[in-house]
């Protein structure tokens, strides 16, 4: 089976010009088929603040009211997505910027009340069209996907970028051997958050439960690893959590 690399890059990287330049250069050097998924939450928060729109977060998840939905749609689907696409074109990459609504590639449903919390216009993914994505990839196109989905009824929904990366990898696993790489500002999952070099080399499901119980893994890293394990369970060949500068997948934490 042919291989493909799915890379998810966090907002802290895409919002820093120097880091983004380095990341896209390294991404361009990855051989073969590839897909890029990006975040951008910090930039959305900054714009919302300028517009007088309050940002509310619960366990790292954004409460997305109507005004905030307008902001994230502009920032994720417009400013960041098209900036990344333009930069990739400058690297000689034939990139195409997409949201989940484009060609209906990622359909979701509005999240119901969860633990009594109304997350607003937030989508939980129901279906990802791996066949359409594979058709694009096979023509030499590099999909660049913003963390927005649609519900099939004309509504855009804000959706976690880590989840979109995992769901995209799962859908493509029906067609390719998939390597999913989560890039962020750390070298991997750390034993000690104050020691940048204390990278945990491998995490299994059993390890994950132990690390959550003892507090080694906490906060936003919990859903990231949950998404990674879910991807492995659904046929993704390998998942790596690593530093953006190590996008070649040779370093970082391997999820098994």
The first and second tokens of residue 46, run together, are 């900054």
Helix axes 66-74, 41-50, angle to 10 degrees: 120
The first and second tokens of residue 203, run together, are 């995490």
Residue found under tokens 């359909």? 107
Q: Is there a contact between 89 and 107 (Cβ–Cβ < 8 Å)?
A: no
**Beta partners for 150?**
107, 156
Show the domains of the chain with their CATH numbers.
Answer: 3-255 (3.40.1160.10)
Q: Is there a contact between 100 and 145 (Cβ–Cβ < 8 Å)?
A: yes
Check pLDDT > 70 for residue 249: no
Helices (H), 155-242: 161-172, 205-214, 221-233
**In the prediction, which pLDDT does 223 show?**
87
Closest CA to 239 of 169, 172, 186, 176: 169
Element (H, E) at 97: strand 95-98
Pairing of strands 177-184, 238-243: parallel
CA-CA-CA-CA torsion sign (190, 233, 238, 171): negative
**In the prediction, which pLDDT does 115 show?**
84
**Beta partners for 184?**
243
Residue found under tokens 């060609």? 103
pLDDT tier at 200, thresholds 50, 70, 90: very high
What would the pLDDT profile of 218-229 be if each residue is shown by its tens digit? 888 888 899 999
The first and second tokens of residue 186, run together, are 């750390």
Whole-number average pLDDT of the chain: 93
What would the pLDDT profile of 75-111 be if each residue is shown by its tens digit? 999 999 999 999 999 999 999 999 999 999 999 999 9
- Separation of alpha carbons 4 and 180, rounded Å: 9
Q: Is there a contact between 81 and 146 (Cβ–Cβ < 8 Å)?
A: yes
Detail the residues annotated as belonging to a binding site for substrate.
40-41, 62, 158
Check pLDDT > 70 for residue 148: yes
pLDDT tier at 44, thresholds 50, 70, 90: very high
Q: Is there a contact between 213 and 154 (Cβ–Cβ < 8 Å)?
A: no
**In the prediction, which pLDDT does 96 show?**
98
Detail the residues annotated as belonging to a binding site.
40-41, 62, 158
C-alpha distances out from residue 111 to 63, 107, 123, 136, Å: 11, 12, 5, 29
Q: Is there a contact between 96 and 139 (Cβ–Cβ < 8 Å)?
A: no
Check pLDDT > 80 for residue 246: no
All residues at 6 or more sequence positions from 206 whose CB lies less than 8 Å from its CB, including other chains: none
**In the prediction, which pLDDT does 184 show?**
84
Element (H, E) at 183: strand 177-184
**What is the end-to-end Cα distance of the chain in Å, rounded?**
20
Residue 175 DSSP label: T
């Amino acid at each position: 089976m042919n291989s493909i690399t799915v890379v998810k890059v966090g907002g802290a990287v895409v919002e820093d010009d120097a880091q983004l330049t380095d990341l896209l250069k390294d991404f361009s050097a990855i051989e073969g088929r590839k897909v890029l998924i990006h975040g951008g939450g910090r930039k959305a928060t900054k714009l919302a603040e300028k517009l007088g729109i309050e940002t509310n977060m619960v366990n790292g998840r954004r409460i997305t009211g109507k005004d905030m939905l307008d902001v994230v749609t502009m920032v994720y689907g417009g400013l960041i997505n098209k900036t990344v696409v333009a930069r990739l074109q400058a690297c000689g990459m034939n990139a195409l910027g997409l949201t989940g609504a484009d060609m209906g590639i990622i359909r979701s449903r509005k999240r119901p009340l969860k633990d009594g919390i109304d997350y607003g216009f937030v989508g939980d993914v129901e279906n990802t069209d791996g066949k359409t994505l594979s058709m694009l990839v096979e023509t030499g196109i590099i999909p660049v996907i913003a963390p927005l989905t649609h519900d099939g009824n004309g509504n855009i929904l804000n959706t976690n970028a880590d989840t979109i990366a995992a769901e995209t990898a799962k859908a493509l696993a029906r067609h390719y051997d998939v390597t999913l790489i989560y890039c962020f500002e750390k070298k991997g999952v750390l034993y000690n958050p104050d020691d940048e070099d204390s990278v945990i080399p491998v995490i299994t499901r059993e390890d994950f439960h132990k690390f959550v119980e003892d507090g080694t893994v906490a906060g936003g890293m919990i859903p990231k690893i949950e998404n990674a394990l879910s991807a492995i369970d659904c046929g993704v060949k390998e998942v790596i959590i690593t530093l953006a500068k190590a996008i070649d997948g040779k370093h970082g934490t391997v999820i098994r």
